[in-house]
Amino acid sequence: MSRRRQIYEGKAKILYEGPEPGTIIQYFKDDATAFNNQKKGTINGKGVLNNRISEHIFTLLGQIGVPTHFIRRLNMREQLVRQVEIVPIEVIVRNVAAGTLSKRLGIEEGTPLPRTILEYCYKDDALGDPMISDEHIACFGWASQEEMHEISDMAIRVNDFLSGLFAGIGIRLVDFKLEFGRVWENDFSRIILADEISPDGCRLWDMKSNEKLDKDRFRRDLGGEVEAYQEVARRLGLMPEDGGGPDTVLNLDEARKARAKD
């Protein structure tokens, strides 16, 4: 690991230079933070689970034609991705009122929204990722209008697909955060989906019990974080039915590959 050049260390991931130009290695940490770094902790095994869950979701999105940065998983905690120029905007997609939307507007958590809402936040930890509008994005040149059309269309497509995927396994996709990046090809740039999609950046509620299966368990001191992430992985078909530790996710995967070769 020491041979590789570290490019960036974030709250939940480290980025290393990849083996070929234009590639990056994403390393998933067990560290968890909330409320703009004011709450810090470790969720043992979270990195392994998020690596696997995000791989699965990005692969499925790629299969329905959503362009993503994902190339392949390398091992338990790392995946190879395309290097992008990150658009400094967090895109929040909301289907049900929760979190800061409920707080800001006084709408009870759990209230279904009559239509999906897209919100944008400026990616800046020092400022606490403040909410912005299209006007700010255009004014400060963070993305062009054309790029914002691509981004919002893609966010809606991702939401439609993921809402269905999770509904099929008894999970309500309440809200989630997406990040996008630019890739350059012959002087032209296009937008692709970047970062990760995992219970760290989604609100996932069990449809029957409304139990939270996401990072709100950490944010709100509910406990059972790893068990919740494991449950998401299990329902996605990434864990054996009889449970097991986070390592089992990958062992199962390797076992499947080995069986396929036989």
**Residue numbers at the binding site for ligand 5GP (CB under 6 A):** 90, 92, 98-101, 129, 175-177, 200-203, 215
Q: Residue 192 Cβ, how far from ligand 5GP at the closest point, in Å?
A: 19
Q: Decide if 33 contacts 13 (C-beta within 8 A).
A: no
DSSP state of 212: B
Q: Residue 202 Cβ, how far from ligand 5GP at the closest point, in Å?
A: 5
CB nearer ligand 5GP, residue 18 or residue 201 = 201
Separation of alpha carbons 229 and 239, rounded Å: 11
Among the listed residues 138, 165, 161, 163, the one whose alpha carbon sits nearest the alpha carbon of residue 149: 138
Q: Residue 117 Cβ, how far from ligand 5GP at the closest point, in Å?
A: 10
CB nearer ligand 5GP, residue 45 or residue 201 = 201
Q: Decide if 66 contacts 158 (C-beta within 8 A).
A: yes
CB nearer ligand 5GP, residue 25 or residue 96 = 96
Residue that is written with structure tokens 């560290």 in the block: 31
First to last CA, the chain: 33
CB nearer ligand 5GP, residue 201 or residue 246 = 201
Beta bridge partners of 131: 121
CB nearer ligand 5GP, residue 55 or residue 175 = 175
Structure tokens at 256: 């499947």
Q: Residue 104 Cβ, how far from ligand 5GP at the closest point, in Å?
A: 9
CB nearer ligand 5GP, residue 98 or residue 226 = 98
Q: Residue 2 Cβ, how far from ligand 5GP at the closest point, in Å?
A: 28
Separation of alpha carbons 162 and 155, rounded Å: 10
CB nearer ligand 5GP, residue 202 or residue 236 = 202
Q: Residue 99 Cβ, how far from ligand 5GP at the closest point, in Å?
A: 2
Task: Determine the distance from the C-alpha atom of residue 115 to the mean position of all C-alpha atoms in its chain, rounded to a whole number.
Answer: 22
Q: Residue 118 Cβ, how far from ligand 5GP at the closest point, in Å?
A: 11
Q: Which residue is nearest to ligand 5GP (CB)?
A: 99
Provide the strand spans (E) within 10-61.
Answer: 13-17, 23-28, 31-34, 39-42
DSSP state of 208: T
Q: Decide if 86 contacts 179 (C-beta within 8 A).
A: yes
- For residue 87, count other CB atoms closer than 10 A to its CB: 20
